[in-house]
Amino acid sequence: MSARPPSGVDTAIRARGLGKHFGGLVAVDRVDLTVPAGQVYGFLGPNGSGKSTTIRMLCGLLLPSAGEIEVLGLEVPRQAEALRSRVGYMTQKFSLFDDLSVRENLEFVAAIQGVAQAETAARVDELLARYRFEDRERQLAGTLSGGWKQRLGLACAVIHRPELLFLDEPTSAVDPESRRDFWEKLFELADAGTTIMVSTHLMDEAERCHRLAILDRGRLVADGTPAQLAGALAGRTLLVETATPRRVLEALVGVAGLLSVVQIGSNLRVLTGDGADPRRALRDIEAALGETGLAADVTEVASNLEDVFVAATRNGSRPPERAP
């Protein structure tokens, strides 16, 4: 689906033993990452899991406390300055100048990123058309809606044609339609050869990624394609259909071997623990329901990324670890 980026490398990012300590707090703990070139690689995790800290180390904005980083064939942070012109970076609060127009923002960022003056006008016109700003190019950026601001932020982030694009929760504050349109633009970039690393805590966004890593308390707890990660939980997810979901949920809270029980609409979704026998769990559920006289149909269903997330972060309630 994706083309090879201009640098010709097969691996865009390789990190080994990556760590970051802030005083005694371990923010990132011995993370190993391999990001294939030309793909959309997702970083999923709860707030405070270390996603932003990891991204900032990978793009040379933050010095690591431990480990080795290679990005586009360059050693980071030693060659971070040489890397700067080859990467783009965008956060949820991407800095636009509210009192400049859409075109002026693009022209200003082009100058900062070293785009040749002779090429700037054509590049700005190209991005105005690609991101559908033709009728808004004179509009002040501060008057744009959230979705249009994010679209302009993305256009600014790629004005210099980066080989690698870092996106740190870029769509958390925009509506679903704007997010869907934003992701279409990301896949267009990936098709053209840009490697994209995007952090998110939204499951529907994670499902769109070619490959996905899950962080929990600074540790890498899962890595693979969405299909691989969901497939690894085969047999562990059960659907409980009942007319009394709240009462059934209360009856299942104390059943051994269940990692989570949540209500989804009028049904319950049950995830069994790692190593638990699904057949035993099914019998225990039926026994618990029998003791209370509640009726329900229990069937095995395919696991999804939310199940993967719960299973991978099941120890999320433990206190943060401290550096030695």
Res 131: pLDDT: 94
The CB density around residue 41, as the number of other CB atoms within 10 Å, is: 23
> CATH assignment of 11-229?
3.40.50.300
The pLDDT of residue 322 is above 70: no
In this prediction, residue 92 carries a pLDDT of 75
Q: What is the pLDDT of residues 173-199, one digit of tens each?
A: 678 888 889 999 999 999 999 999 999
Question: What is the band of 9 on the pLDDT scale with cuts at 50, 70, 90?
Answer: low
Q: Mean pLDDT across the stretch 266-290?
A: 87
H/E element holding 186?
helix 176-191
Q: What is the mean pLDDT of residues 207-215?
A: 95
The answer to whether domain 235-301 has CATH 3.30.70.100 is yes
Helix (H/G/I), strand (E/B), else coil: 115: coil
| CB of 259 closer than 8 Å to CB of 247 | no
pLDDT of residue 189: 95
| Average pLDDT along the chain | 89
> Which is higher by pLDDT, 55 or 95?
55
| pLDDT for the residue 274 | 84
**Residue 283 CB contacts under 8 Å (≥ 6 apart), including other chains:** none
Quickly count: other Cβ atoms within 10 Å of residue 237's Cβ: 24
Domain ranges of the chain: 11-229, 235-301
**Which strand (E) or helix (H) includes residue 206?**
helix 203-206
Element (H, E) at 188: helix 176-191
Interatomic CA distance for residues 34 and 297, integer angstroms: 43
What residue type is assigned to position 321 of the chain?
E
Calculate the CA 90 to chain-centre distance: 13
pLDDT in tens, 25-39: 999 999 999 999 999
Helices in 36-145 by DSSP H: which ranges? 51-58, 80-84, 102-112, 117-130
Question: Which pLDDT score, from 0 to 100, does residue 171 have?
Answer: 81
- Predicted TM-score (pTM) of this structure: 0.87
